Amino acid sequence: MPRLTYLGHAAFTVEGSKARIVIDPFLSGNPLATASPEEIKVDYVLLTHGHGDHLGDGIEIAKANNATIVAPNELAIYCSGKGAQIHPMHIGGAHEFPFGRVKLTIAHHGSAAPDGTYTGNPCGFLITMDGKTFYHPGDTGLFYDMKLIGQMNKIDLAALPIGDNFTMGIEDAVMAAEFLQAGLYLPMHFKTFEVIDVEPEEFVRRVRAKGQKARVLPIGESLEY
C-alpha cells in the first residue's frame, strides 16, 4: 500500500514497495513548508510544469539523490541542461517505470521556468504504484475531460488545487471531484500565498455533501491508500 506525505502547496512524496518519488517539491521559499530539500530522499522527481512553485527544488533534489526527473519533454530538457538526469514524456503518454506506471494528462495552465525559459505544456500525473492510482492534476482549471479520466481509470486518491486565482477554486474543484469519482480527495495549492488563502474544510464539506470522501492532510502528515 503506497504511503503519501504532504509537503505543502502541491508537493507530495509517495513511497511504494519499489521506490520513493516526490512531486513538485517547492520547499525553499515556501513559507509553510516544514521540510528542507536536504531531507528529501527519493529515486524519482516528477514535475508538472516549470513555474517556481512547482519546479521548486526539483533539480537540486534530483542531483543530490542521483534521481531521475520525469516531466514533459521541454521541461525535462531544461532540467537536463542544469545537470539532472531525465526521463522526458508528454501529454497522453504512459511509461512503466521500475516502481510503477506514470501517465501524463492535460492540464490547463502555463509553464515557464523562473528564468523565463519556455518549458512546454503543463501536465497532470496518473501514478500507479503497488496497484493503487494517485492522480495529481498539477495546476489546472476545470476541464470536462476529467470525466473521461475518471471513466478510464480507477483513481484511489486525487489531490485537487482549490486556491482559485491561479487554479481551480473550491466550486470548480468540487465539480472536478464529481467528474473523477476517486476514492478520496485531498485539497492542495491553498494558503501558501495571500491570494490563494481559502478554507480547505469548505472543500471537504462540499465534497462530502455529494457523497464522496475528502479530508485535509496537514503539512508533514502521511496517509496510506
pLDDT digits (tens, 9 = 90+) for 52-88: 999 999 999 999 999 999 999 999 999 999 999 999 9
Q: Where are the domains of the chain?
A: 3-224
Grouped pLDDT means (10 residues each) for the chain, 225 residues:
98 98 97 96 98 98 98 98 98 98 98 96 98 98 98 98 98 98 98 97 98 98 98
Nearest-5° Cα angle at 46, 40 to 49: 120
- Residues 6 or more apart whose CB falls under 8 angstroms from that of 148 comprise none
Please tell me the predicted confidence (pLDDT) of residue 60.
98
Which amino acid, one-letter code, is at 26?
F
Please tell me the predicted confidence (pLDDT) of residue 43.
98
Please tell me the predicted confidence (pLDDT) of residue 195.
97
What letters, b where the CB count within 10 A reaches 16 and e where it falls short, cover 183-195?
ebbbbbbbbbbee
Matching residue, cell 468540487: 174
> For the domain with range 3-224, which CATH number is right: 3.20.19.10, 3.60.15.10, 1.10.150.120, 3.40.228.10?
3.60.15.10
Please tell me the predicted confidence (pLDDT) of residue 158.
98
Please tell me the predicted confidence (pLDDT) of residue 166.
98
Of 111, 168, 164, residue with least CA distance to 143: 168
Please tell me the predicted confidence (pLDDT) of residue 200.
98
Please tell me the predicted confidence (pLDDT) of residue 34.
95
Which amino acid, one-letter code, is at 225?
Y
Please, what is the end-to-end C-alpha distance for the chain in angstroms?
Answer: 6
Please tell me the predicted confidence (pLDDT) of residue 22.
98
Contacts for 98-102: CB closer than 8 Å, 24+ residues apart: 98/18, 98/19, 99/16, 99/18, 99/19, 99/21, 99/43, 99/44, 99/129, 100/16, 100/18, 100/19, 100/127, 100/128, 100/129, 100/130, 101/126, 101/127, 101/128, 102/46, 102/70, 102/126, 102/127, 102/128
